[in-house]
Chain A
């Protein structure tokens, strides 16, 4: 049968009710803070409020991708599949967050600046990061064997994560050399706006943690099923 440690993971619930409740509370507070409590921005009006979710999603997406790096390095050093589960969970959640960034960007840009998309530094970098980690996920679908998949994903994951600062710098410097008339910005930051943003970020970090844990659990369960099948094969079927 599967080892004792693995059974313990299976039977214990991955998300305790208090922690989920806390995340919901954070989200509620953040939404209130962003949509009602924070002052309305002068020039952009109501639609500016989307900035809180736009920026905090980007920051949380970043954290997810850092986790991909950690998982990839850890897998290469320990060859323990759980690090691969962390990597894939974090990559998927990161892509989800950056999808939010790429969707909220145009929603914000259109009413304010009249165009759907601006190739400003932040948005362009977000787009490239999104593409990069979608490639990571596509790579994973094309390798079937779990250990091999974990290995090649870890190597590509490390390269992709090392690329992140290089992507940001090159796009930023390019924009500095070729400035655009329209720049995407959060506008003037009233201190209350700063608090609302931080609260939003805390909420998205909470959502990120919940999602990663759920996804990690899914991989762990899949692996446990495989292990049980393996034991059956080993004892001669």
Chain B
């Protein structure tokens, strides 16, 4: 059973389980919505102000939502001890982590894409003309969020106070992603739109570094 095959089987299971109940997706979308609306009260959302502050608030919202949503990645496997069932199977333990990383990436990206139009409307920002570039920034930033968040979710699952612990661990480590993604988004939404190569390359580096780190040490977290 190759790593890729096992990962895709687990990914399919994650997707199927979530889409059966849709509770996590639904709750996360509502949470980000609330944050976006609340943030809009903190300044005057004229077009130029929004372009300066909006992206930062948007990414903050995604980070907070992500750190709450990623909790359940491993907590779910504690019901009926299904994590043991996964570990009993003759698969590379990293595929468990990998399958969840990809699933979390897809879920988070979905939430972001759904909320983008809401953000655009509430903050008077024109999103459609630069949609492709925006999606690129979203994707690169979300990879970092999903990869790191999934690993830390496995870390937090072994500790007490895990609901508080995951954001505590995740947010400081993701600060560079926040900076890079926000700056890149501001650039893309700017007048004229500008795709910052430096920040995009930086995000890609971040993703590569942490994906590699996850691959090398992640599976130790699944041992007993």
Instruction: Tell me which residues across on chain B come within 8 A of A143, comparing CB atoms.
Output: 158-160
Q: Is B19 an interface residue (CB 8 A)?
A: no
| Chain B residues bordering chain A, tally (CB within 8 A) | 31
How far is B199's CA from A158's CA once the two chains are assembled, in angstroms? Answer: 23
Q: Is A131 an interface residue (CB 8 A)?
A: yes
Instruction: Tell me which residues across on chain A come within 8 A of B159, comparing CB atoms.
Output: 139, 142-143, 152
Q: A151-B221, A174-B179 are in contact. Are A139 and B210 (CB under 8 A)?
A: no
Q: Which of A139, A163, A169 has the most CB atoms of chain B within a 10 A radius of its CB?
A: A163
CB-CB nearest in chain B for A173:
B198
How far is B210's CA from A174's CA once the two chains are assembled, in angstroms? Answer: 21
How far is B150's CA from A155's CA once the two chains are assembled, in angstroms? Answer: 13
* Chain A interface extent, by class: 20 to 34
Scan residues 172-189 of chain B and give those whose CB is less than 8 A from a CB of chain A: 172-173, 175-176, 179-180, 183
Contact of A155 among B151, B168, B206 (CB under 8 A): B151
Bitwise, A129-162 to B at CB < 8 A (1) or not (0) is 0011001001100110000100110111011101
Bitwise, B191-215 to A at CB < 8 A (1) or not (0) is 0000000110010011001100100
Q: Is the CB of A159 within 8 A of B151?
A: yes
Name 7 extra pairs, CB < 8 A, besides A166-B205, A169-B176.
Answer: A132-B172, A139-B155, A152-B155, A152-B221, A166-B176, A169-B202, A173-B198
Q: Is A9 an interface residue (CB 8 A)?
A: no
* 13 A–B contacts from the bound complex (CB under 8 Å): A132-B173, A138-B168, A139-B169, A155-B217, A159-B151, A159-B213, A162-B209, A163-B172, A166-B205, A167-B175, A167-B176, A171-B179, A177-B183
Instruction: Tell me which residues across on chain B come within 8 A of A210, comparing CB atoms.
Output: none
How far is B209's CA from A57's CA once the two chains are assembled, in angstroms? Answer: 28
Scan residues 97-143 of chain A and give those whose CB is less than 8 A from a CB of chain B: 128, 131-132, 135, 138-139, 142-143
- Smallest beta-carbon distance A34→chain B, Å: 32
CB-CB nearest in chain A for B214:
A159
Q: Is B128 an interface residue (CB 8 A)?
A: no
Contact of A135 among B169, B179, B198, B220 (CB under 8 A): B169
CB-CB nearest in chain A for B218:
A155
- Smallest beta-carbon distance B53→chain A, Å: 14
CB-CB nearest in chain B for A125:
B175
Scan residues 71-126 of chain B and give those whose CB is less than 8 A from a CB of chain A: none
How far is B155's CA from A171's CA once the two chains are assembled, in angstroms? Answer: 27
Q: Is the CB of B158 within 8 A of A148?
A: yes
How far is B160's CA from A143's CA once the two chains are assembled, in angstroms? Answer: 7
How far is B175's CA from A135's CA once the two chains are assembled, in angstroms? Answer: 13
- Smallest beta-carbon distance A30→chain B, Å: 32
How far is B158's CA from A132's CA once the two chains are assembled, in angstroms? Answer: 19
How far is B200's CA from A170's CA once the two chains are assembled, in angstroms? Answer: 11
Q: A142-B159, A169-B202, A170-B202 are in contact. Are A159 and B168 (CB under 8 A)?
A: no
How far is B154's CA from A148's CA once the two chains are assembled, in angstroms? Answer: 12
